[in-house]
């Protein structure tokens, strides 16, 4: 017969494993991006892309509220498909990258909605202004790479931002105020970050 003390220790160990710390990931800039579009004089929607240069994700598939996200976005990396348009968007009336090159998002909490959907609650600092955001997101996949060298977590999210909330109040007659933003994120487990990406050749992408 097992001693009651042994049973108690076993129960505590099982409880501890059920509430294990979330896995740490580093955002992979190669497979992650911020894509946005905005109305251009009512003729079309102009698309742009920004690069995520650094970020950390802590994610526990069994305990989403214990997860967190931080990310740094290089505003000077903006790509509108035209050098002159890129320069204009980087200018003081819009992203103002000479004053502050980076934007930064820091989560406050993570809310689970369904098995693969949730809401990320946090704050975005852009052009020196910090605004609270609620970002709906989807967990696409968490799994090992094709060679099993590391674990990758993939997420998608989208949100509509009001650019005037960050002080971008110019050109409202020609450039739309609401900006639609999509985020596609891949993050590498174990804190390895993009340095481990070169082990996966282009002919053998992660599955």
Catalogue all structural domains in the chain, each as residue range(s) with its CATH number: 19-194 (2.40.128.110)
Average pLDDT over residues 123-150: 93
The model's pLDDT over 19-75, given as tens digits with 9 standing for 90+, comes to 557 899 999 999 999 999 999 999 999 999 999 999 999 999 899 999 999 999 999
3-state secondary structure the chain: CCCHHHHHHHHHHHHHHHCCCCEEEEECHHHCEEEEEEEECCCEEEEEEEEEEEEEEEECCCCHHHCEEEEEEEEEEEECCCHHHHHHHHCCCCCCCCCCCEEEEEEEEEEECCCCEEEEEEEEEECCEEEEEEEEEEEEEEEECCCCCCEEEEEEEEEEEEHHHHCCCCCCCCECCEEEEEEEEEEEECCCHHHHHHHCCCCCCCC
Of 7-16, 34-43, 191-200, the range with the highest mean pLDDT is: 34-43
pLDDT at 179: 98
Q: What is d(CA 55, CA 71) in angstroms, rounded to the nearest whole number?
A: 4
pTM > 0.85: yes or no: no
């Amino acid at each position: 017969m097992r001693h009651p003390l042994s049973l108690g220790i076993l129960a505590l160990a099982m409880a501890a494993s059920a509430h294990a710390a979330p896995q740490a990931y580093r955002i992979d800039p190669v497979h992650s991006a911020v894509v946005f579009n905005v109305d251009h004089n009512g003729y079309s929607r102009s698309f742009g892309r920004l690069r995520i240069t650094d970020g950390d994700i802590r994610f526990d598939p069994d305990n989403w509220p214990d997860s967190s996200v931080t990310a740094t976005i290089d505003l000077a990396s903006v790509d509108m498909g035209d050098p002159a348009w890129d320069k204009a968007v980087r200018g003081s009336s819009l992203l103002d990258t000479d004053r502050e090159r980076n934007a930064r998002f820091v989560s406050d909490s993570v809310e689970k909605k369904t098995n693969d959907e949730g809401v990320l609650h946090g704050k975005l600092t852009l052009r020196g202004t910090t605004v609270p955001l609620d970002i709906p997101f989807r967990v696409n996949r968490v799994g090992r790479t094709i060679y099993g060298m590391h674990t990758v977590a993939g997420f998608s999210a989208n949100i509509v931002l009001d650019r005037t909330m960050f002080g971008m109040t110019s050109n409202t007659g020609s450039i739309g105020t609401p900006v639609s933003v999509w985020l596609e994120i891949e993050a590498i487990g174990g804190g390895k970050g993009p340095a481990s990406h070169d082990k996966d050749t282009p002919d053998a992408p992660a599955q």
